[in-house]
Amino acid sequence: MITSILQYLHSNVTPGEDGSLFWVTVYVLLVFAGISVGVIFMNWFERKVMAHMQVRIGPMRVGPHGLLQPLADALKLIIKEDLMPTNADKIVFWFAPVCVVMTAFCGFIVVPFGRTHAITDMNIGILFMLGVSSVGVLGVIMAGWASNSHYPLMGSLRSGAQMVSYEIAMSMTVVSAVMMTSMATGTGTLSMIGIVQAQLQQRTWFAFSFFPVGLTALGVFAIAMVAETNRAPFDLPEAESELVAGFLTEYSGFRWSLFFLAEYASMMSVSAIATTLWLGGWLRPFPNLLGGKTWDIAFSLVPGITFLLLSALCLFYFTRMPKIRAMRKEALGLAGFGCVLGAIGLVMLLPGVRVRVQDIYWFCIKAGFFMYLYIWYRTTFPRYRFDQLMTIGWKVLLPISIGVVILTAMIGVRHELLALVWR
């Protein structure tokens, strides 16, 4: 049995391609757990980062530096009373959060954390992800409908309209990225792993290729994805100080936490798309330019070193904690957390492990950058009014993204075009 596990670890395809049901299940559970942990971490991270940007410190009480705060919130939400409006459509009311969560998590089937670290590699990967996120819009509209109150209904329709408008601009830029995969070989691919391999082959991340086309495409996608997930500055439908209540109004307790889970999961999903399509997915920086064995080893040490640095930070803060009896549990918790991080870091330095893990690490760093951008936007920008929001979606982003597609297409057939011109 151990030999079969070890043998499997040396495979060079994803379990879906391999056809092994057992490993697919294992990977599904791992991804599901990973996304959930990611959501929990994002909650803590968002509160801390927002707080520090607002000259305060955020949660500090529950767990050392508030690390257990998300768990406390989750527990509270689970034990809350489950309310349903009297005349609400019960089945739809129940199903709406389920729908949103399902679609948000389903997108992760094709997200490649590494060459073999994906549940499967569909050859229509990116199309699948976009399609699944579109189904999520239905969940939003169902939520507003089932609330049996016309303010949440209007809020959900506005939300839905916003998501649909920005999906078009998003899809156009995705088309341009897919076209770029065909620049070297003449055949493109919709498969997520294929897109990253095309970037490896063309020796450049698509964000930097054919400057400024790639960067514009990434920029448009980065703005559209914020609107797609109903986050600031495009969060009018769920803003507290506006009049038309958001679609979430009638949801409380666990159902609300499902929406919240879905929101963060979809944020991570679109960040994953952005990373894969434009920032080189799981590739480490400069895989071709700084190639060779020594560079490979050097870069593969980075994850382990990062975790060791984080653990050093935790232990440093542990030494600075007040040495009073009341803080003993917290101090020990922080020390324990630091030790756990240190242990993970040490494990990641082992040669066998670090080769497998480095892809995941680079992918998460790049996606994490987009998540940080999300938090930064929320802290800094005021909200757009709804008509201004729709104007940007249709009159600004859509023309730019169509222009990007046309430019990419022209670049793709540049030899033929030049031949035409010079004849």
Partner 1 sequence: MSDNQFYDSLEEEKEPGRTFLDSNELVLNMGPQHPSTHGVLRVILKLDGEKVNGLECVIGYLHRGIEKIAENRTWAQFGPFVDRLDYTAAVSNSMGYCLAVEKLLGVEVPKRAQYLRVILTELCRIASHQVWLGTHVLDIGAVTPLFYAFRDREDILNVFEKYCGARLTTHAFRIGGCRWDAYAGFAEEVLHICDDLGPKIDEYRDLITGNRIWLQRTKNVGYISAEDCVAYSITGPVLRASGVKWDLRKRQPYSSYEDFDFDIPIGTAGDTFDRYMVRVEEMRQSIRIVRQAMEGLMEGPIIAKVPKVIKPPVGEVYVSIEAPKGELGYFLVSDGTAQPYRVRVRPPSFINLQALEKMAKGSLVADVVAIIGTLDIVLGEVDR
CA distances in angstroms from 208 to 115, 212, 216, 376, listed in the order given: 22, 7, 10, 23
Q: Is 381 in the site for partner 1 (CB under 8 A)?
A: yes
Nearer CB in complex with partner 1: 283/397 = 397
- State in angstroms the smallest separation of the CB of 55 from partner 1: 5
- Closer to partner 1 by Cβ: residue 228 or 330: 228
Binding track, positions 224-253, relative to partner 1; x by CB under 8 A = --------xx-xx--xxxxxx---------
Locate 58 and state its tokens.
Answer: 């955020």
Task: CB nearer to partner 1: give 50 or 215.
Answer: 50
The residue among 55 and 324 lying less far from partner 1, judged by its C-beta, is 55
| Of residues 320-379, those binding partner 1 (CB under 8 A) | 378-379
Stretch that binds partner 1, among 127-135, 247-255, 309-317, 386-394 (CB under 8 A): 386-394
Question: Which one, of 216, 220, 246, 218, lies nearest residue 386 by Cα?
Answer: 246
- Distance of alpha carbon 328 from alpha carbon 323, whole angstroms: 7
DSSP conformational letter for 350: S
Of 30-69, binders to partner 1 (CB under 8 A) are 50, 53-56
User: Minimum Å distance from CB 5 to partner 1?
Assistant: 49
Taking the least distance from each CB to partner 1, the nearer of 58 and 280 is 58
Q: Does 395 bind partner 1 (CB under 8 A)?
A: no
Alpha-carbon dihedral angle through residues 39, 90, 243, 46, given to the nearest 10 degrees:
-10
Q: Helix or strand or coil: residue 194?
A: helix
* Closest by CA position to 252, among listed 76, 70, 38, 68: 76
* Identity of residue 176: S
Q: Tell me the closest approach of the beta carbon of residue 160 to partner 1, in angstroms.
A: 16
How far is Cα 181 from Cα 215, in angstroms, rounded to an integer? 15
Does position 25 interact with partner 1 (CB under 8 A)? The reply is no
Contact between 174 and partner 1 by CB under 8 A: the answer reads no
Report d(CA 169, CA 275) in Å as an integer.
17
End-to-end CA distance of the chain: give it in Å, rounded: 66
Q: Which one, 256 or 386, has the nearer CB to partner 1?
A: 386
* CA distances to 92, 259, 263, 272, 365 from 47, in Å: 32, 18, 15, 22, 19
Q: Based on CB atoms, which residue is closest to partner 1, 160 or 412?
A: 160
Asked if 81 interacts with partner 1 (CB under 8 A), we say no
| # chain residues binding partner 1, by CB under 8 A | 26
Q: How far apart are CA 284 and CA 212, in angstroms?
A: 22
CB 220, min distance to partner 1, A: 17
* Distance of closest approach, residue 379 Cβ to partner 1, in angstroms: 5
Residues that bind partner 1 (CB under 8 A): 50, 53-56, 232-233, 235-236, 239-244, 378-388
